[in-house]
Structure 1
C-alpha cells in the first residue's frame, strides 16, 4: 500500500481510502503477527510508567529554578527529537498498549523522546491549560501530536468545535513557534453516549476532522488517518467506545509509523 508523507497538511497514511475495509483487515492481521513475534522474542516486560505528569526528579532546584530539564540525549550522545502526544483515553490506553508490546515509551524511535499525556475524559477545552502547565517545567516539544475532540462531539456544535480547534492551533504555534503539529483524526465509535442519532454524530465527526485539517495545512503540519473501522466490532471493547487490544495495537503502530516518517533521521 502506498505510504505518503508530505509537509503542508498532506496525510501521513498507510492505506488507500478506497480499500478501507480490506486495508483494515490486512493491517489487523499484520498487527496480530507482529504481536506474536514480540511475545515470542521478548524476555521481560517494561515497567508501566506514569501516563501523565512529571517524574519526581523534575522538582525545581537551586541551579534549575523552573525544574525544566534540558534536551534529552540518546545513548550515542545526540539530542533527541522531543515529541508530545496529547489526548483523552485513546492516548492513555494506547500508551499502555505500547509498553505491553515492548515498544517502550519512545515506540523504538531512536531519535525521539516521547512524552505521553493521556487524560481519560479530556475535552478540547483542556488542551491549552495542559500545555501551558507542562511548558513550565518540561522541555518544549519539537513535534506535538493531538488526538482529542471526540468527547465534545455530542455536546458541541461542529461549527463551534471546529472554530475552537482552529483558534487553538494558532495559539499553540504562538506559544511554540517552531513546533511541528500532527493532527490525529478522531476515530469513529460504535456507540456515542447521549447521542440521539449515531449517523448525525458520525457526520459531525467527519466535518470536524476536515475542519481541523485546514489550520494544520496552513501551519505546515501533518495529519494522520487511521484504519479504525466502526463496523469491525473486534477493534472495540464491549462498550463499543474504547478500542480493544487489537484496536489499540493498530493505533500504536500507526502513530509509530507516522512519527517515523515525520521525524528527521528517525530510525526504528
Structure 2
C-alpha cells in the first residue's frame, strides 16, 4: 500500500488532518489553491509541532520528521497519483465538494473520503466514477487532540473500503465509530441539536452563555458547554451544518437569528477571536 496521504483544503480541519497524518508516518500533500491560506496553514502546523515538543508529547526529532513529510501545493496536478488516502476537507458546500472530489478521484486514490460533518455521503458519491472507494472520514477539532473519528459508510462503499478506513483510523491513533449515511450522521446531528437549542435559550434570556455552558459541564459532565463548543467548532461551520440538517429534517434544525447574525458580522468564534466568547491567542477570555 502507498504511504502517501493527500488532503484538499487548508482550513482548520484540513491542516489538522495533514498534521496528524504526517505525524503518523504518511508522506502528506496538502492542496490549497489559495497560496496565502496554505502558507498560513503550514505555519500553524509548525506551531502545533513546536508546542507538542514543549509539552513533552513529542521529541524535537519527531517534530522535524513530521514537518519534513509535509508538502504544500496549489494544484491537484502537483499531487502524486495513487495515494493511499485522499481526504477532501473544504467548506460544507455541496457543489464545491463535488468539484474537489472529482479532481481528487482522477488521482486514483485507494481510499477517497470526505471530512463533511453533515452532507450525505451518498449524495457526494453520486457523481463519482468509483463510489465503492468512497466514504466519510469525519474528524473533530482540534484533530491532533480529539480521539474520535466518525467513519460514514454509504450505500456503495465496499467492505474493502470500510476496512481500509478502519485501518487508517488505527494508524492515526483515532477511536473509530462506524455509522450508516444519513444527514448529520450521529455526531453532527446530536451536537447541533444541543448547540442550536443553547443558542435559542441565550436568545430568549433563559441564562447567560457562561451559565448555560456551566450547567452542561457540571450537570452532565460535558468537557465544555454547547456555546463554547460552537465557538471552537466555528459558528460558520455550525450554520452550514444547521442549514443542511434543516433541509433534511425540517425546521427543528432552523438556525437561530443570533447564529446567522454573528456569522454575517464575521464573528466566527475561536478562529476569529469573537463569538459567544472573546478569544485571545486561542484562549477564552473569562469575564
Structure 1 and Structure 2 fold alike (TM over 0.5): no
Q: Is the helix fraction higher in 1 or 2?
A: 2
Q: Is the strand fraction higher in 1 or 2?
A: 2
Structure 2 length-normalised TM: 0.30
Q: Relative contact order (alpha carbons < 8 A, sep ≥ 6): 1 or 2 greater?
A: 1
